[in-house]
Amino acid sequence: MFPFLKSKNQTKDNNKDNSQKVLIYKEVEKNNEYIRQLFFAEKNKDFSFRTLTAKYIQKKVHIFFYSSIVNSEKIYNGIIRPLLEADGQSIKDVITIESLTEIKDFDQVVNQINSGKAVIFIDGDTTAYSIDVAEFQARGVEKPENERVVKGPKEGFTEALGVNVSLLRKRFHNHSLIAETALIGTRSKLEVSLMYVNDLVDQDILKNVRERLENISADNVSSIELLEQYIEERPYSIFPTILYTERPDYAAQFIEDGYIVLLMNNSSAALVLPATFWSFFHSSEDRYARFLFGNFTRIIRMLAFAITLLSSATYIAVTNFHSEMIPPDLLLAITSARERVPIPLFLEVIIMEVAFELIREAGIRIPNPLGPTIGIVGALILGQAAVEAGVISPIIVIVAALSGLTSFAIQNTSLNPSVRLSRFLFIFCASFFGMLSLVAALVIWVLYMSSIKSFGVPFFAPLSPHFKSRGDIYFRNVIKHEFWRPGQIKPKDKRKSN
């Protein structure tokens, strides 16, 4: 039940031994038979193969591919037609498509076909050729759903790796921006793209990331959301340590500073690492807005952060333990409202907080046509009617609504749940000894946060421990006055030019 409490004794490593490589045969028919067995060609309807005689050598040629994940026009124009019509010395002269890879064994053949390539076998040749004709279906570039901005680009990542890489390259034109590929998964091998600027990124962090990717022993890691959970250090932690963003512009900002971005084919988001608290707390719009307004937004967000974390807990602590802190007018108003409420104040708060979480959860899951129901049910029944029925006091509605509403100001989809969960933690703590236990819990919470590391980088850096950085912590500087790259990730070139 609590695996983190058990000591780690054995690491599983059973899946990797049974690989002995089968080399490609000289006889094309033998290859043909082997492949067709391997891919269950009889049952697999979208597994296609084509046999033809190449004009340039007058030999039999077999082409294998999955028809569902390739561009058929490309196959016809780029492979079949040249083979049938063109003359030349070798296959490289005949097939002029951009990528042509030589492969020697069947493991590679399988990988290539699975990732949407066409593989060509030539009679009498022990080398097979793989040609990139992949076309996985994906939607186009759309607006990011969860990270909206008013001022700034509206493009979001999409579920196609090539498009995502392109969106990043579009924002940073530099020859040393590298899109390194790693394959993860044992049964289904999927590509992960590591993007970084070679002459900025810290090699230790890069090595660390590569190692973690290699150490994944799962059968299949199909998306970046799952990958995040495979490579993070503390899966039981309440705080995220890898930044998840839907915005290519935000990811590109990090690449420029020497961070590493991970992309995958099936996710409309990228992972940025190493991440600090500040990267979750900031929003890309903070930089797009002009200096004053950007910082004004920061103030609002900090305020919202404090309110959503502590308002309910403080309310419990103050009313249950320190009634002398409340101004008399408010005190008498709350008291008179509470006189007819049958449940303790602590339960009142919990009920409303849970109700708010229910509305939120239902709001996400509810089918679109039923959307407006949530508003009616939520606002009328839970708010007004419950107060009128005397189940809860009106002030609780204000407190819960305030703490619920402000939680939306924490835009980041990873940090937001942390804050919401912490809120419940604080509510419970406040109900034990009031402010005393609330403050104790808050101190422990902050201590814990500052103990976290993301790929070796402290969570609160560059604030604590202090590093030279562009000073974008609580508030940001004027763009022209940002002189340093974030020191905590040890970029090779620390000084920014402005």
Q: Which residues bind other proteins (CB under 8 A)?
A: 1-2, 5, 319-321, 323-324, 328-329, 331-341, 344-345, 431-434
Which lies closer to other proteins via its Cβ, residue 174 or residue 323? 323
* CA pair distance 237, 270, nearest whole angstrom: 21
Question: In the complex, what is the shortest distance from the CB of residue 331 to other proteins, in angstroms, rounded to a whole number?
Answer: 7
* CA pair distance 417, 103, nearest whole angstrom: 47
Which lies closer to other proteins via its Cβ, residue 344 or residue 371? 344
Which lies closer to other proteins via its Cβ, residue 215 or residue 335? 335
Question: In the complex, what is the shortest distance from the CB of residue 386 to other proteins, in angstroms, rounded to a whole number?
Answer: 16
Question: In the complex, what is the shortest distance from the CB of residue 232 to other proteins, in angstroms, rounded to a whole number?
Answer: 21
Question: In the complex, what is the shortest distance from the CB of residue 311 to other proteins, in angstroms, rounded to a whole number?
Answer: 17
In 10 A of CB 6, how many CB atoms? 8
Which lies closer to other proteins via its Cβ, residue 6 or residue 21? 6
Which lies closer to other proteins via its Cβ, residue 5 or residue 150? 5
In 10 A of CB 418, how many CB atoms? 17
Question: In the complex, what is the shortest distance from the CB of residue 418 to other proteins, in angstroms, rounded to a whole number?
Answer: 21
Q: Where are the alpha helices (DSSP H) in 376-414?
A: 386-388, 394-406
Which lies closer to other proteins via its Cβ, residue 112 or residue 393? 393
Which lies closer to other proteins via its Cβ, residue 108 or residue 320? 320
489 Cβ contact partners less than 8 Å away, ≥ 6 residues apart: 202, 205, 257, 258, 259, 274, 457
Please, what sign has the CA dihedral across residues 150, 152, 155, 156?
Answer: negative
Peptide bond into 274 cis (omega under 30): yes
Which lies closer to other proteins via its Cβ, residue 2 or residue 40? 2
Residue 428 contacts residue 316 (beta carbons within 8 Å): no
Q: Where are the alpha helices (DSSP H) in 242-290?
A: 248-257, 277-281, 284-288
Question: In the complex, what is the shortest distance from the CB of residue 384 to other proteins, in angstroms, rounded to a whole number?
Answer: 14
Question: In the complex, what is the shortest distance from the CB of residue 448 to other proteins, in angstroms, rounded to a whole number?
Answer: 16
Question: In the complex, what is the shortest distance from the CB of residue 308 to other proteins, in angstroms, rounded to a whole number?
Answer: 24
Q: Interhelix angle for 328-338 vs 394-406, to 10°?
A: 110
**Beta strands at 453-454 and 457-458: parallel, antiparallel or unpaired:** antiparallel
Question: In the complex, what is the shortest distance from the CB of residue 437 to other proteins, in angstroms, rounded to a whole number?
Answer: 9
In 10 A of CB 223, how many CB atoms? 16
Please, what sign has the CA dihedral across residues 440, 446, 452, 456?
Answer: negative
* CA pair distance 42, 44, nearest whole angstrom: 6
Peptide bond into 248 cis (omega under 30): no
Question: In the complex, what is the shortest distance from the CB of residue 209 to other proteins, in angstroms, rounded to a whole number?
Answer: 30
Which lies closer to other proteins via its Cβ, residue 57 or residue 392? 392
* CA pair distance 86, 94, nearest whole angstrom: 6
In 10 A of CB 447, how many CB atoms? 9
Which lies closer to other proteins via its Cβ, residue 24 or residue 350? 350
H or E element, residue 165:
helix 161-171
Q: Nearest 5°: phi and psi at 133?
A: -125, 20
The strand order across the sheet containing 100-103 reads: 47-54, 59-66, 117-122, 128-132, 100-103
